Amino acid sequence: MGDGYLTSALPDNFALIVRGSQCDKKAVNSQRPVNLDLRTIKLPITGVTSFLHRVSGIILFFGIAVLLYGLDKSLASAEGFAEVKECLTSPLAKFVIWGLLSALLYHLVAGVRHLIMDMGIGETLEGGKLGSKIVLVVSTILIVLLGVWIW
Amino acid sequence: MVTNVTNFSRSGLYDWMAQRVSAVVLAAYVLFLLGFVVANPGLGYAEWQALFSNNAMRIFSLLSLVALSVHAWVGMWTISTDYLTPMALGKWATVVRFLFQAACGVAMFAFFVWGVQIFWGN
């Protein structure tokens, strides 16, 4: 069924895969089978930034527990505050906080881009690609700066 | 059998708007907190505690907690409906997706209650 049936009827070198933006009018009109299985389509740069936005969101969802735990402890008492501060001097804790805040910064930068696009800026294919590159560059700079600040 | 439940508000536009509005609140809160911590290098308990016991800050924190709940829900719902599909999981997709969304909802509710205790209890 499915893939086996379709591919067996085609020559071996027939490209089933629609590569993201290259899905043009011809492909839409043709009677050829179109592969919409997202797992086998190579991601364009806009897809990469979108995927990272999702991944960072999932990391943050679980990271909330860590951040709330630290906040709870640091506000409960002076001893708790000192304990959290002490804990944050360990390399492992620094790495975890760096990872969480990196996810946060990336999610924030990519989110701001979404808001800008909602205003109608950078909505074209070229604009989208440029926006993705800007998101990657800006978030990388911020994440490096964050690392410098933490260590 | 119902295999495809729509989103929480039963309106994609409403979810879209809620995601944006909550995002702006969260961005403001995160930037404020990061700015505060970066601007106060030798931060002590007294200052930290004073910040969070300030009434304006409590309101800002609670608002952000509500925004976080909304934002996390819309995000996790979107991801689960995109990836936990029959194409990826077969016939158990609906059950798996429902359980995943239920777990996310319970976790987010627990985070919310915990957050209220932190912001209004300390």
Contact A61 B107 (CB under 8 A): yes
Report CB contact under 8 Å: A68, B111. Answer: yes
Q: At A101, which amino acid appears? A: L
Cβ distance B48 to A81 less than 8 Å, yes or no, reads yes
Interface probe, candidates B45, B52, B53, B65, chain A, greatest A C-beta count within 10 A: B45
Of residues B80 and A6, the one with the higher pLDDT is: B80
- Whether A75 sits inside 8 A of B52 (CB atoms) is yes
Per the listing, tokens 């790495």 go with A95
pLDDT, tens only, B51-99: 999 999 999 999 999 999 999 999 999 999 999 999 899 999 999 999 9
Q: What is the CATH T-level fold of the domain B12-121, as seen in this structure? A: 3 helical TM bundles of succinate and fumarate reductases (1.20.1300)
The string of pLDDT tens digits covering residues B2-44 is: 555 566 677 788 889 999 999 999 999 999 999 999 999 889 9
A44, two tokens:
């364009």
* Short-list A42, A64, A145, A130, CA closest to B69: A64
Q: Which domain holds residue A21?
A: 3-40
Q: Are residues A91 and A127 in the same domain?
A: yes
pLDDT, tens only, A63-119? 999 999 999 999 999 999 999 999 999 999 999 999 999 999 999 999 999 999 999
| pTM of the predicted structure, to 2 decimals | 0.83
| A36 and A58 inside one domain | no
My answer on whether A73 and A101 are in the same domain is yes
The number of C-alpha atoms within 13 Å of B68 and in the hemisphere containing its C-beta is 28
Return the residue in B24, B31, B32, B34 with the most chain A beta carbons within 10 A, the one to mutate for interface testing.
Answer: B34
Reported ipTM: 0.91
Angle subtended at Cα A35 by Cα A11 and Cα B97, rounded to the nearest 5 degrees: 140
Judge whether A54 is closer than 8 Å to chain B, CB to CB.
Answer: yes
Q: Where are the alpha helices (DSSP H) in chain A?
A: 3-8, 25-29, 45-76, 78-87, 91-118, 125-150
Across the interface, whether the CB atoms of A104 and B30 are under 8 A apart is answered: yes
**Which residues have C-beta within 8 Å of that of residue A62, sequence separation ≥ 6?**
none
Beta carbon pairs, A and B, within 8 Å: 56
B30/A74 CB distance under 8 A: no
The pLDDT of residue A29 is 62
Residues A62 and A116 in one domain: yes
Region class of B54: left (phi > 0), else alpha (psi between -120 and 50), else beta? beta
Q: How many helices (H) and strands (E) does chain B have?
A: 5, 0
